[in-house]
Chains A and B, each alone.
Chain A
Amino acid sequence: MRLDAKMMTLGLVGLTVVVVVGFVLVVLLISWFSNPPFGLGNAPPQPVAFPHTVHAGPVEEGNMGIQCEFCHRNVTKGEAATVPSVEQCLFCHGTVEGQTSAARTEISKFRPVAGADGITPPVMPINWERVHRMPDHVRFVHEAHIRFFTDPSPELMRTGINGEGINGPLSVQETCSICHGDVADMEVVKPKQGQSLKMGTCLDCHRENNVATDCTICHK
């Protein structure tokens, strides 16, 4: 009887401890997860279902085979790769209707069509969901990485992000896929599966390639 009471008290204390610890843990986790450096998970639903397969997939398979830098125009020029303006989508989709009804539905989401009154509504911007995100304190210059991997000099020894050896200069597309995976093969764009994109990964790659690892190269 006495023992039971003791056990009861112990149990209650234990339960309280568990609850408190659990609560602290939840709070800690929330603070981890609400911090931007953490990755965003897989393939968020996009406002327009844009198939990279059709646009960037190989021509031999009946796709368009458009180069990455054709749409992501700044990727070979500066820091941000940038998403294209809707105006640029309409270069083609002003006339290209889409071959399936699903495609036509998606295209009509951003292509303005003249109404009954004959007036064409203005083009509206598209708000995409982000798939990759750099934390605010990190500077990642796409251009510098593409320049390094596409450098034509054959004697330059290069290593990929997971330590794999790379022979000779790469194309822009191949360079992109080192970190982003084969986006041309993705119906819905998502991070490269199983690929770590943490600071350690950046550092390892910089070391392998004999590139400066000073903090201020990336941190701002």
Chain B
Amino acid sequence: MKLSRRNFLAWAGLSAVGAVACEGFGIRHGEFDLQSPASLPEDLVRGKDNWYATLCRTCPSCEGIVVRVMEGRAKKVQGNPSYPTNMGTHSARCEAGLQALYHPDRVSGPMRRSSYRGSGQFEPIDWATGLNEFRAGLQGRSENILVVTEPLRGHLGMVVQKFAGAMGGRHLAFEPMDTVTLRMALKNVFGQDTLPDFDIGNANFLLSFGSDLLSTWVAPNRWNMAYGEFRQGEGRDKRGSFFHVDSRFSMTAANADQWVPVSPGREGYLALSLAYVILSEGLQAPGVDVGRLTGGQGAASLEAFRPDEIAGLIGLPDHLNGHTPVEVIEDLARRFAAAENRPSLAIGGGSAGAHSNGLFNLEAIYALNYLVGSVGVTGGIRFNPESPLPDVPASSGGGSLADWATVASQLRNGQTRMLLLHNADPVHGLPGAMDFHDAMDQDDLFIVSFSPFLDDSSVMADLILPDRIYLEDWGSDLPEPGPGFQTIGIQQPVVNPLSDLDPRSFGDVLLTIASEMGRGDALPWDRFEDLLRDSSRQLFEMNRGSIQAATANEFWNRMLAQGGWWDESATGPGSVAPPDGLLRDIVAKSSQPRFPGLGTSGNVFHLAPFSHHTLMEGQTAHLPWLQATPDPVTTVTWETWVEMSDYDGARLGVREGDIVQVNSAVRGSIEAPVFLTPANPPGIIAMPFGQGREFGSDTATGRPDNVSPNLMSIVEPSQVDDTGALAWASTTVTVAPTGRSVRISKFEGAYRAIEIGTTPAEQIIHTIVPEKG
């Protein structure tokens, strides 16, 4: 008999040995269970999946998502196709919210500190005890509390503000790379309180300075969507043209048609030089009131910024694509202002705003938009309306470095006696020189953390009352920057917490405590959901926007199904007039960037820190998918690396994977492996934030200090003039090889990927007119 695979099975089936083996070694217990659940909710069909609309809170830009839920488990995140700011797309970070939900290192329930502060030792307690201790803490320290959260918009922002107000304390949001300077520049130039919408998709020419907009800046997913349209959108007669000015080679620079490398902090000078060329050659858009902009002086007011005067200062390379620096400036100005390139758009941020002269840089950049008539037009800068609901904030700025310095001193001198933390990690995210860890280490201070994960700050807490993950909780958001019209996104719980977890909604806890302490006048809701329902009724009564419903209840249900409410007719101000003498005032503000540590001997480099593509400044460092996502430019994963030019690498005698010591003269040093690129400007090293937690999830912490240090620990705590924001790009360092090396954890192969051969993988054509299929 031929022994085929099938009849072997039959033979085996007959065998008594088989039966014994099956019995003895068995199949994993429970694998063949089939459960009749106790009950089934109305909307849950077993064996079928459901897609629920909600919001993603992994990054501050907050996208509308739909989540696939099967048998009470969230399986997949996808963009919400009807949500105005992302239209069905999503970023890598959104997806990883699922890993936060099912993360093995979530804080499972309320805990109390059981050893000295910062030891990381906690004992589990029940919620009643936890809330009692929280209440007792509040009662004794009312006037001196500080609530520190991530930047919060929408209803939770309102609740936190009112809670802090009712307790007599205050609320301060923490964002490591703060937007304070950007917001002030936009306020000074356009008079707006909320971030405007940059309509890249309809622009023909995009000029960006320092902002890594396709990777992490403000709302990268929006800009990516717009970028696709900008390049090859249907119905365009011309492919958009993109110049990027930056002191390092970012992912955004890689996608620009032309990257214009400048010395750190000189972006404003370049912008004013462009303005000079535009005005002196009369290239400004028709109808631009040059007199008003320059205070009546015309191009003469910008005489000091003539290209030949400042080309050397800006630090352009001697030959960029075969052009001299002066040619580059003049060419860029002419392209930017050319009538056939309108609407053209200038945006700035990131490292351009993170120098001592950051405010000057950003104001100079944004003022360019007035010259080409791109303010308040399609394809230019469009302004966002106010929040449709009074009290519900549509904007979420964080505190500046100056604010945090005040906080630290108030913690030290006992003026602040209670600290509430929610998803904010200032110990990890503030410059090491501020030693916020030490500021929080006060005997009399009572710290309560609501974060669902342990981090360097919440490990200092006396009490941990873990919040739910956003996929288990109610919430809302007013996207910032908005899409140009009033929009409210709604976040609903799509799954319940697993049975071994006992988190409680942060909003609910605040509402309960406020009413129990008799301070609930401003917060008259029992649960956070009630507050949302109240607002939904208000929106229903307005009777406009994307939802037409007969009853308030129907309105609410449709809002949940759609993921929010928006009114495309409720737009922001159409246009704004420039402040009188805007350019004149900006010129008066002009100043060189200051580099506090500069001048020390050795191999001095400018340090160009940047927000990590997926980990940002470390807020998502506990999520394995995001740690494992290769950085787009270097493909490095799981590590902090030193991006250095081939030239400097040869000069220092280091190769990829060699560990170097990066010394900030006064602020200490860290060690990290080198990654050499042909694109990094000589004299500059670029390093990402995000790694180097000391406490918390293994994913965020479990690697040695010499491959995953926290870059923030050596960043110079200097401030941007007039705004007090952290000037994170103003650090200078020396670099010294240590002689040790590691195998760098990167996705790229062993050899550098350079296009070779007759048929490269990536084929290129040189035309700017998109051909029609």
A 60-78 to B, binary, CB cutoff 8 A, 1 in contact else 0: 0000000000000110011
B761 at the interface (CB under 8 A from A): no
B18 touches A87 (CB 8 A): no
B21 touches A200 (CB 8 A): no
Is A129 touching B36 in the complex (CB atoms < 8 A)? no
Q: With an 8 A cutoff between CB atoms, is B47 at the interface?
A: yes
- B47 nearest CB neighbor, chain A only: A80
Q: What CA separation (Å) do A200 and B27 show in the bound complex?
A: 24
Question: Which residues of chain B are near A36, meaning CB under 8 Å?
Answer: 27, 31
CB neighbours of B27 from chain A (8 A):
33-34, 36
Docked complex Cα distance between A124 and B12 (Å) = 39
Q: Is A116 an interface residue (CB 8 A)?
A: no
The reply to whether B32 and A77 contact each other, CB–CB distance below 8 Å, is: no
Contact A86 B36 (CB under 8 A): yes
Smallest CB–CB gap between A106 and chain B, Å? 14
Q: Which of A33, A38, A86 contacts B39 (CB 8 A)?
A: A86
For B6, the chain A residues whose CB sits under 8 A away are 198, 200
CB proximity to A under 8 Å, residues B1-49: 6, 9, 12, 15, 17-18, 21-22, 25-27, 31-40, 45-48
Q: Which chain B residues lie closer than 8 Å to A74 at the CB level?
A: 45-48
Residues A33 and B21 in contact in the complex (CB < 8 Å), given A74-B46, A82-B47, A129-B32: yes
A30 pairs with B39, CB closer than 8 A: no
- Does A154 have its Cβ within 8 Å of any Cβ on chain B? no
In the assembled complex, the CB of B514 is this many whole angstroms from the nearest CB of chain A, namely: 33
Contact partner, B46, options A40, A80, A126, A127, Cβ 8 Å: A80
Residues of chain B within 8 A of A30, CB atoms compared: 21-22, 25
| B35 engages A127 (CB within 8 Å) | yes
Question: Which A residues are in CB contact (< 8 Å) with B12?
Answer: 29, 32-33
| Cβ of A83 under 8 Å from chain B | yes
Other-chain contact of A79, B31, B33, B47 (Cβ < 8 Å): B47
Interface string of A103-130 (1 = CB under 8 A from B): 0000000000000000000111111111
Inter-subunit contact A85/B47 (CB<8 Å): no
Name the distance in Å between A79's Cβ and chain B's nearest Cβ: 6
Find out whether the CB atom of A40 lies under 8 angstroms from the CB atom of B32: yes
Known contacts A34-B25, A198-B6: A77-B18 contact under CB 8 Å: no
In the complex where A26-B21, A33-B18, A77-B45 touch, is A85 in contact with B38 (Cβ < 8 A)? yes
Most buried by A among B6, B36, B39, B46: B36
Please measure, in the bound complex, the distance between the C-alpha atom of A29 and the C-alpha atom of B38, giving whole angstroms.
Answer: 38
Tally B residues with Cβ within 8 Å of A.
Answer: 25
- Contact status B46-A82, CB under 8 Å: yes
Q: Are B21 and A126 in contact (CB under 8 A)?
A: no
**A133 in the interface, Cβ–Cβ < 8 Å?**
yes
User: Cβ of A130: which chain B residues have Cβ within 8 Å of it?
Assistant: 32-34
Minimal beta-carbon separation of B13 from chain A (angstroms): 8
The reply on A59 being an interface residue by CB < 8 A is no
Query: Is the C-beta of A84 less than 8 angstroms from some C-beta in chain B?
Result: yes
In the complex, A125 Cα to B33 Cα: how many Å? 12
Q: Report yes or no: A123 in contact with B39, Cβ–Cβ below 8 A.
A: yes
Interface flag for A89 (CB, 8 Å): yes
Neighbour of B36 across the interface among A29, A40, A79, A125, CB < 8 A: A125
B18 touching A85 by the CB < 8 A rule?
A: no
Q: A26-B17, A29-B17, A29-B18 are in contact. Are A125 and B48 (CB under 8 A)?
A: no
Who on chain B is nearest to A133 by CB?
B32
A25 within 8 A of B: yes
Q: Which residues of B contact A73 (CB under 8 A)?
A: 45-46
CA A30 – CA B23 in complex, angstroms? 10
**A127 proximity list for chain B (CB < 8 A):** 33-36
Inside 8 A of A126's CB, which chain B residues have their CB? 35-36
Check B36–A84 contact: CB distance below 8 A: yes
Restricting to B711-753, which residues have a CB under 8 Å from any CB of A?
none
Please determine whether B15 and A87 come into contact, CB atoms closer than 8 angstroms: no
Q: Contact at B33–A128, with CB atoms within 8 Å?
A: yes
A33 to B37, CA, bound (A): 29
The distance from the CB of B38 to the nearest CB of chain A, in whole angstroms, is 4
Chain B residues with CB below 8 A from A26, complex form: 17, 21
Given A74-B46, A82-B46, A82-B47, A33:B36 Cβ within 8 A: no
**Given the contacts A29-B21, A77-B45, A128 and B15 also touching, CB distance less than 8 Å:** no
When chains A and B are docked, how far (Å) is the Cα of A84 from the Cα of B40? 9
A85 engages B36 (CB within 8 Å): yes
- Distance A129 CA – B314 CA, assembled complex (angstroms): 75
> Measured between alpha carbons, how far is A146 from B32 in the docked complex, in Å?
25
When distances are taken between beta carbons in the complex, the residues of chain B under 8 Å from A133 are 32
By beta carbon, the residue of chain B nearest A124 is: B38
Compute how far the CA of A154 lies from the CA of B92 in the bound complex, rounded to whole angstroms. 52
Complex alpha-carbon distance, A38 and B25, angstroms? 15
Q: Which of A33, A88, A128 contacts B35 (CB 8 A)?
A: A128
- A85 near B40: Cβ-Cβ < 8 Å: yes
Min Cβ gap B420→A in Å is: 36
Query: How far is B18's CA from A133's CA once the two chains are assembled, in angstroms?
Result: 19
Q: Are A129 and B33 in contact (CB under 8 A)?
A: yes
Which chain B residues border A80 with CB–CB below 8 Å? 46-47
Identify which of residues 429-488 in chain B touch chain A, using a CB-to-CB cut-off of 8 Å: none
B34 and A128 contacting across the interface, CB-CB below 8 Å: yes
CB of B212 to closest CB in A, whole Å: 39
CA gap between A88 and B39 in the complex, in Å = 8
Contacts A32-B12, A33-B12, A74-B47; A83 near B21 (Cβ below 8 A) = no
**Bound CA–CA A220/B32 (angstroms):** 20
Min CB distance A195 to B, Å, is 14
A78 and B46 CA atoms in complex are apart in Å by 9
Q: In the complex the two chains form, what is the Cα distance from A94 to B33 in whole Å? A: 25
- Closest chain-B Cβ to A201's Cβ sits at a distance in Å of 11
Instruction: Note all chain B residues with C-beta closer than 8 A to A40.
Output: 32
Smallest CB separation, B772 vs chain A (Å): 36
**Chain A hits for B46, CB < 8 A:** 73-74, 80, 82, 85
Q: How far is the CB of A107 from chain B (nearest CB, A)?
A: 14
Q: Contact string, A31-59, partner B, CB cutoff 8 A, digits 1/0?
A: 01110101010000000000000000000
Q: In the complex where A29-B15, A36-B27, A129-B33 touch, is A87 in contact with B48 (Cβ < 8 A)? A: no
Q: Enumerate chain B residues within 8 angstroms of A87, measured Cβ to Cβ.
A: 38-40
A124–B36 CA distance with the chains assembled, in angstroms: 9
Note all chain A residues with C-beta closer than 8 A to B45: 73-74, 77-78
Contact B9 A32 (CB under 8 A): yes
Q: Which residues of chain B (212-245) have a CB below 8 Å from chain A?
A: none
Segment 26-78 of B: residues with Cβ below 8 Å from A: 26-27, 31-40, 45-48
Residue numbers in A under 8 Å from B40 (CB-CB)? 85, 87-88
Given A32-B12, A200-B6, decide whether A129 and B35 contact each other with a Cβ distance below 8 A: no
Contacts of A198 in B (CB 8 A): 6
| Interface membership of chain A positions 11-31, coded 1 if the CB is closer than 8 angstroms to chain B and 0 otherwise | 000000000000001100110
- Which residue on chain B has the smallest CB distance to residue A88? B40
CA distance A129 to B36 in the complex (A): 11
Q: Are B48 and A77 in contact (CB under 8 A)?
A: yes
Please tell me if the beta carbons of B34 and A83 are within 8 angstroms of each other in the complex.
yes
Q: Mark B546-581, 1 if CB is under 8 A from A, else 0.
A: 000000000000000000000000000000000000
Contacts of B36 in A (CB 8 A): 83-86, 89, 125-128
List chain A residues, Cβ under 8 A from B34. Answer: 83, 127-130
Distance between Cα atoms of A34 and B27 in the complex (Å) = 6
- Pairs of residues from A and B, 7 with the lowest C-beta to C-beta distance, nearest first: A80-B47, A87-B39, A130-B32, A33-B22, A74-B47, A126-B36, A123-B38
In addition to A33-B12, A85-B36, 13 A-B residue pairs with Cβ atoms within 8 Å of each other are A26-B21, A29-B18, A33-B25, A38-B9, A78-B45, A78-B47, A82-B46, A84-B36, A125-B35, A126-B35, A127-B33, A127-B35, A128-B36
Q: Please list 23 pairs of residues, one from A and one from B, whose beta carbons are closer than 8 Å in the complex, sorted by A's number.
A: A25-B17, A29-B15, A30-B21, A33-B12, A33-B18, A34-B25, A34-B27, A74-B45, A74-B48, A78-B48, A80-B46, A82-B46, A83-B34, A83-B35, A85-B39, A85-B40, A89-B36, A123-B38, A125-B35, A127-B34, A128-B35, A133-B32, A198-B6
A: which residues have CB within 8 A of B? 25-26, 29-30, 32-34, 36, 38, 40, 73-74, 77-89, 122-130, 133, 198, 200
